Amino acid sequence: MAEPLLCVKDLVRRFGGITATDRVSLDVAQGELHAIIGPNGAGKTTLISQLTGHLAPDSGSISLAGRDITHLPAWRRSALGLARSFQVTSLLLDFTAADNVALAAQAHDGHSFRFLGDARKERGLRDQALAALQRVGLAERAHVLVSRLSHGEQRELELAVALATRPQLLLLDEPMAGLGVTESARMVTLLRELRKEVTIVLVEHDMEAVFALADRISVLVYGRVIASGAPSEIRQNEEVKRAYLGDQHVVVRHA
């Protein structure tokens, strides 16, 4: 059996008397899309922050491609191929879409982060930016200021920024937050294509999208993984129904 790309064992993070992640363990196989779902306050974003190195665990371990990264800083994890998108957009609104992606590529490649002009003029960075924008369907919007992009386009741009770092593991924190029906369907189509190229961990409240995309799903409730398995198993799991899904009727969305 192949070694998982991501291996999380007994991860614990406390905030005062609150245990945000309570001995969380999960594996993510190379090439799969693994969704993490759960109610608000379940610890999903806290878990993602520990995986990226933005938050240190109190105990437990994290391995990426067989390497222990538990105590590595975020920039070292990025250099090893781990990228993240955030719940709230973290883009530079007064710069163009291409500028944002070029700067991400510049930082990842270890170039001195001096002036935006460096990224604009360097052909290699420019080419990387345009290639990433092409992959998310924003090539024609490359020179538009981010502030003039729609919310859906900004979410797609965040994916391009992450892809510019050439990740082997992509962590997506609610990429469909705030999207309308049409924009959500477009994002599902995009993620379906991207999963062919990169392993994805998806935190998402849109159950329709989750069940349409995921190879496996882990359910986090009060900081604990209460179930993990294929979508069909999770849909029928009585504990998951009681804790989260309830009577939701999940219809698979076809892109």
Could you please report the per-residue DSSP string of 188-252?
Answer: HHHHHHHTTTSEEEEE-S-HHHHHHH-SEEEEEETTEEEEEE-HHHHHH-HHHIIIIITT----P
Q: Per-residue pLDDT tens for 130-159?
A: 999 999 999 999 999 999 999 999 999 999
Task: Convert the pLDDT of each residue in 207-247 to its tens digit.
Answer: 999 999 999 999 999 999 999 999 999 999 999 988 877 64
Residue 84 is predicted with a pLDDT of 87
Look up the pTM and report it. Answer: 0.87
Longest CA–CA separation in the chain, Å: 57
> What's the fold here for domain 6-81+167-245?
Rossmann fold (3.40.50)
pLDDT at residue number 178: 87
Compute how many other C-beta atoms are within 10 angstroms of the C-beta atom of residue 134: 13
In one letter, which amino acid is 252? Answer: V
Report how many helices (DSSP H) and strands (DSSP E) the chain contains, helices first.
Answer: 10, 10
**What local confidence, expressed as pLDDT, does residue 188 receive?**
94
pLDDT one-digit tens code per residue, 77-106: 988 999 987 655 678 888 999 999 988 888
pLDDT at 252 over 70: no
Q: Which residue has the tokens 């990226």?
A: 52
User: pLDDT by residue (tens digit) across 149-202?
Assistant: 999 999 999 999 989 888 999 999 899 988 889 999 999 999 999 999 999 999
pLDDT per residue over 12-55, tens digit each?
A: 999 999 999 999 999 999 999 999 999 988 999 999 999 999 99
Whether 168 and 65 have beta carbons less than 8 Å apart is answered as yes
Judge whether residue 1 has pLDDT over 70. no
Segment holding 68, helix H or strand E: strand 67-68
Dist. CA 78–CA 171, nearest whole Å: 11
The pLDDT confidence band at residue 248, using thresholds 50, 70 and 90, is low
| Strands laid side by side in the 6-15 sheet | 18-28, 6-15, 59-64, 67-68
pLDDT surpassing 90 at residue 107: no
Q: Judge contact between 242 and 61, C-beta under 8 A.
A: no
Based on C-alpha coordinates, what's the Rg of the chain? 18
